Structure 1
Amino acid sequence: MTTPEPDTRRKIQSAQQVAQAAQAVRATGGKVVFTNGCFDLLHAGHVRYLNQARALGQMLVLGLNSDESVRTLGKGDERPLVPQAQRAEVVAALQAVDAVVVFDDPTPAALIEIIAPDILVKGGDWPVDKIVGAEFVLAQGGVVLSIPLVQGLSTTAIAQKIARLALDKSGASRSM
């Protein structure tokens, strides 16, 4: 008999729920790590990045840009490709992620102040001095890190490849 998989959607929580859980982790001497992003079309680079982030502490909180927030980032009108509820469920299913909070603001600054992580991380395309929330985390005695990206792996590149393939296919069908 197989054991049913746990419903990882329980990891999708409000900022206040995560702040309480983070406080409990810190009360036992643990470190809370925070990262954020769109995580549209999850790929191996995301997984490696999140595993590295989780290894830095005892709890990894992932702030997920809402659909509206993604649209404000200039990634194009067609983004996100995957709706926020589905993106949240996918990242919540990752073993490295302890909690997911969806946020509507253009940046996670307010969320970072509510959760008050000990360690703030972003991908290597973000220099530490440009990471939103860095000033707050550093002022609280925390650490801010930029984790190197896996070269050649990006959601934008995947989306562009899909668009090229679709265009090639539609062009080929018109010429027949």
Structure 2
Amino acid sequence: MDKLQWIQNKMRDREQLLRQCNIWRSFGKKIVFTNGCFDILHHGHLHLVAAAANLGNVLVVGINSDASVKRLKGEDRPINHEQERMFQMASLLCTDAVC
């Protein structure tokens, strides 16, 4: 599988993610979840995600919607739109799914 496909395969909608989580659970995997805006990806975000990944076998990262980021961060945000933030997070080795 090429690298771009590998990244895109981690990007799931909620129903796809639910099905995948059920598969992981059937294999006895411990699923860890974290979420955030991750608008301008920085060292603190990477540290958080890596630490979360160490807590289980599978890491799922939820990405706040553009509307949520705007409410939390201000009218001029997000800088990177939701799909871009999902792609960035999915490109990390320690993430297994991004929604």
TM-score (norm 2): 0.90
CA distance in 2, matches of 1:4, 1:88: 18
d(CA) in 2 for partners of 1:5, 1:17: 20
Query: How far is 1:99 from its partner?
Result: 0.7
1:72-121 Cα offsets, whole Å, 9 max, x none, are: 22x111111111111111111001111111xxxxxxxxxxxxxxxxxxxx
- Structure 2 distance, partners of 1:17, 1:4, is 21
Identity %: 40
How far apart are the structure 2 equivalents of 1:10 and 1:56?
23
Say whether the 8 Å CA contact 1:33–1:60 is kept in structure 2: yes
| Residues in 2 aligned to 1:4 and 1:64: alpha-carbon distance in whole angstroms | 24
Equivalent residue, structure 2, for 1:87: 85
Letter matched to residue 94 of structure 2: A
Any residues of structure 2 matched to 1:116-135 within 5 Å, and which? Answer: none
- In 1, Cα distance between equivalents of 2:47 and 2:27: 27
Scaled by the length of structure 1, the TM-score of the pair is: 0.52
Q: 1:96: which partner in 2?
A: 94
1:5 match: 3
Listed as ranges, the gaps of 5+ residues in structure 1 are 102-176
Is the contact made by 1:22 and 1:59 (CA closer than 8 Å) also made in structure 2? Answer: no
Equivalent positions of 1:1-176 (< 5 A) are 4-7=2-5, 8-73=7-72, 75-101=73-99
Count of aligned residue pairs for this structure pair: 98
Q: Which has the higher contact order (CA 8 A, sep 6+)?
A: 2
Q: Which has the larger radius of gyration?
A: 1
Give me the whole-angstrom Cα distance separating, in 1, the residues matched to 2:34 and 2:2: 30
Following superposition, the deviation at residue 11 of structure 1 comes to 0.9
In structure 2, list runs of 5 or more residues that go unmatched.
none
Q: Structure 1 residues 56 and 90, CA, compared in 2 at 3 Å: closer, same or farther?
A: same
**Runs (4+) of structure 1 moved beyond 3 Å?**
none
Two-structure CA RMSD over aligned residues (Å): 1.5
Q: For 2:28 and 2:83, locate their aligned partners in 1 and report how far apart those are by CA, in whole Å.
A: 32
The alignment partner of 1:42 has SS state of coil
CA contact (8 A) 1:25 1:58 kept: no
CA distance in 2, matches of 1:5, 1:27: 27
